[in-house]
Each structure stands twice: as C-alpha cells, then as structure tokens.
Amino acid sequence: MDSRNDIREFLASRRARITPQQAGLATYGRRRVPGLRREEVAMLAGVSTDYYARLERGTLTGVSDSVLDALARALQLDEAEHAHLYDLAHAANTTPRTRRRPAPQQQVRSSVQRILDGMTALPAIVMNARLDLLSANRLGYALYVPAYADPVRPVNLARFCFLDPQARAIYPKWDDAADITVAMLRTEAGRNPYDLGLSDLVGELSTRSGTFRNRWATHNVRLHRSGIKRFHHPVVGDLRLTFDVMELPADTGLTLTAYSAEPDTPSHDGLTLLASWAATLDQTDRADTDFTTDNRNP
C-alpha cells in the first residue's frame, strides 16, 4: 500500500463530496469540479492554498494535530474518517526502520477460549483486524459454517465475502456487507499500513475481485462497534442479529464479537434451532466439513 497515494486519494475524495452549500459558501458561475475547490478547503481550514495543495499531494509529514483537526472540520469528516486522517499522518511520520514489520502470530489464549465456550446461548467469534476468524464458540462455528468450507486457515471473512459464491446467499444484503468489509479493511490499512499480511490480502482481493477493487478505491472507512447483521443461514433460515464488538486489551488487534436476538422474535427462535443443530456437530465437522448452502442435512 502506498501511503502518499492513500493520503492524496482520501483527501481528494472527501473534498469532492462536500458541496459549497454544505460548507456554507456562496457560489458564483459554473464550477468545473465536483465538491469544493482546494482553495475553498484551505480557507475553511485556515491554511494557505499552497500548503493545502501540498497536503493533498500526499505530504502529511510534520503536520500538527491542530491542522489535522481543522482539515477534519473543513471536510466534515465523521469520527471514523477523523481517526483515519490521524492514522495516515502517523504513517507519514513513521521512520523507515519501523516499517514493514511482519505481524506477530496471533493466537487466542486459553482463557479467552474458555470465555467463548462459556457463552452457550449466543454465537461469539474472535477476529483480528484483517478479519481472520481465529476462533469461535459452538454457536459461532455453526453461524459461520459455510465459511469453514474453505480449507485455507485461518478463515478470512473478507475472502469469504468476495471470493466465495455462497456469501451472496448467506448475506441477504450482500452489498451492505461488502461495503462494511472493505471499509473495515481500509480503516486497518490506515492504522497499520505496513502489515504485510494485510497488504497480501488486499492484493489478492484486488486481483481476483473487481467488486472489491472498485470499493477499495472509494477510501471509505468505518468504526465497527455494534449494529444489526442479517444472515440467511442454510439450516435455520433468516436471522436478524444484533452484534457487539469488544476489544481484548491484553491481545492487541483482537476483538470478540457476540451476536444476540431480541426475545420473542423469529431470530431468537432461529438461534435456539441453531443451538440444537450445532449440538449434533463435533468441532472437527464444524471446522472442516465441506458444507454448502444446498446441503441442509450435514
């Protein structure tokens, strides 16, 4: 990943989406560019046009926090975009000696696995920021069993989303799932641009999936903390689940995600059925069975 190019395209794309009216600026005559002009962003941020033009060329080295905050206000960045701008600036100021460090091998500690296994009524998974699915409890395996059909380990949910045809059946709102997946990877790329594993994953997906490549070019980012996720599970049917993401402070980069359903809803009944079905599978089957959406009797 090219840090300067990422800075240039991120700032230019955010500038292009803000109209003068949204920025509170008067307009006169015909405009040649969508969104704001560079000089308008500079004026709103309180910097010179030449200085802003240098920033948009990809040079954030030495930029102060106050300037970054002023840019965030001028470009009306949301919380995730504001944090991403800081991440891009941090990467621009990283010394070469600290770059290109391979990520340490990430494993789920036995105490975390015990927590997962103790969550018997809810699906729960542990992932890293590259969306590698590192572990799960019984219901978590059952929920994501189609992804485990891929023999590559660890299972990667971005690879599943874009490269496995089953994903479009599993995610009823596939476009939304795809957008969120890419935005999460883009967020991590800003936070950790020299992660070789992430670079390899993005390169693979960009080469093999035009839909991923087009979404990656939007430079959209997202903080993925809680929300609603919809599944069409091959055994129990439609599920509308609330997810909550919890960071594991002792395991940098790892998160535990738990899924739940509102009481007295079809989705709650679906989780009960999923638990019954999961009880019929041993862990080896859950992880390694070649399971397809057409196979309803594993």
Side-by-side strand order, sheet with 132-136: 155-156, 132-136, 124-127, 255-260, 237-247, 226-233
DSSP 3-state of 227 = strand
- Between CA 14 and CA 20, with CA 19 as vertex, the angle to 5 degrees is 120
User: DSSP label at 241?
Assistant: E
Structural domains of the chain, ranges and CATH numbers in brackets: 3-93 (1.10.260.40), 110-288 (3.30.450.180)
User: DSSP label at 240?
Assistant: E
pTM for the structure as a whole: 0.89
DSSP 3-state of 1 = coil
Tell me how far apart the alpha carbons of residues 200 and 187 are, in angstroms, rounded to a whole number: 16
pLDDT at residue 294, as a whole number: 36
pLDDT at residue 31, as a whole number: 79
Tell me how far apart the alpha carbons of residues 240 and 266 are, in angstroms, rounded to a whole number: 9
CB 218 within 8 Å of CB 236: no
DSSP 3-state of 102 = coil
The residues with which 226 forms a beta bridge, in sequence order, are 244
pLDDT at residue 40, as a whole number: 95
pLDDT in tens, the chain (298 residues): 678 899 999 999 999 999 999 999 987 767 777 899 999 999 999 999 999 999 999 999 999 999 999 999 999 999 999 999 999 999 888 765 555 555 566 889 999 999 999 999 999 999 999 999 999 999 999 999 999 988 889 999 999 999 999 999 999 999 999 999 999 999 999 999 889 999 999 999 999 999 999 999 999 999 999 999 999 999 999 999 999 999 999 999 999 999 999 999 999 999 999 999 998 875 445 444 433 333 333 3
Tell me how far apart the alpha carbons of residues 177 and 155 are, in angstroms, rounded to a whole number: 17
